[in-house]
Amino acid sequence: MSQHTFSPPADKKPRNKKGKSLPPKLIIRLGKFVWTTMWQIMMSKLAPSNKSGEYIRPNSQFRNFIGTQSGNLYQPAMGRYNLIVGLGCPWAHRTLVVRALKGLEEAISVTIVSPSPIEGGWVFNQEYEGCATLAELYGQAEPGYGGRFTVPVLWDNQTKSIVNNESAEIIVMLNSELNEFAKNPTLDLYPQELKEKIDSWNEKIYTSVNNGVYRCGFAQTQEAYDQVCDELFTTLDEIDRALHTNRFLCGNSVTLADVRLFTTLFRFDAVYYGLFKCNRRRIQDYQNLGPYLRDLYQLKGVADTCDLESVKQDYYGNLFPLNPGGIIPSGPDPMFLKEPHNRENIAKEANPV
């Protein structure tokens, strides 16, 4: 009788007791607990919330103005002021759009910053005022500053100080306080007779749309998300109806209300629709909002302020809590923005004589 070594069947190989793995259920539970805890910590720093889990945006803290009033530290001047912006940021984008529409490119310079996950904030593409990061510049302008280091920043080259870091106020200044240096000084994006209407739209759009998409994306409870998402799309539906009879929000002329809405709409389908869970409907799919977006994009100079690839890189590549893998989506195709909008005679078509 020949001797041989016993070999168990292939499906019954001896188990390596030293290399036992945890049951999948425990791995999932542990992974979910660890990730949820880390996510909550990161979100508390990225997006502070109230007790209901709703995102609360902190206020900007530098609120000075350019003006010709006697004693004003910040007087209008050619080349004195510089805009510090991130190309992916919708709030900073507003200032670039107004600068382009007014023809202030020669009067106001622009410095670009980019988000850095390593630094945890904005960094200069090239050293600026001896600073490598925007946080350093804030600290240089106001030693001991403890607020957020946000863009846009309206910087005064003469006094080496921050004039203002609130986009809503910067665009008002750009519209009216530097007309003597503007190529389009007669263009008034905030005319007196429309201020009440513009302010009304601005308040509604800021709460429900501009900040509404962030409130959706940064919501930390289902209840907070559901409430804000309803509010967002209710307002978008209202705007779409209003645009059926008006080329722009306040009539047939573009205003600051349109500028403030545009920078959110430009990012919506590419970023907010997926990453921020605002996916009930794309802006392209609206009867009036889609063509309206193209109309604004095709105004002279506006397209030059738009960088969709930077937008996607900034959001998908740097908002780690929302996109841990950092994968950048390939779409959407920006060519749709160049398609005809056919809104030049919208008021005449809606109200025929």
Active site residues: 89, 214
* Burial annotation 192-206 (CB, 10 A radius, 16+ → b, else e): eebeeebeebbebbb
Of residues 270, 332, 331, 258, the one with CA closest to residue 298: 258
Pull the structure tokens for residue 255: 């205003």
Sort residue 263 into left (φ over 0), alpha (ψ -120 to 50) or beta.
Answer: alpha
Pull the structure tokens for residue 136: 């350093």
User: Helix (H, G, I), strand (E, B), or coil: what is residue 141?
Assistant: helix
Q: Do you find a cis peptide bond into 48, omega within 30 degrees of 0?
A: no
Pull the structure tokens for residue 139: 């600290």
Ranges assigned E (strand) in the chain? 81-86, 109-116, 121-128, 131-133, 153-156, 161-164
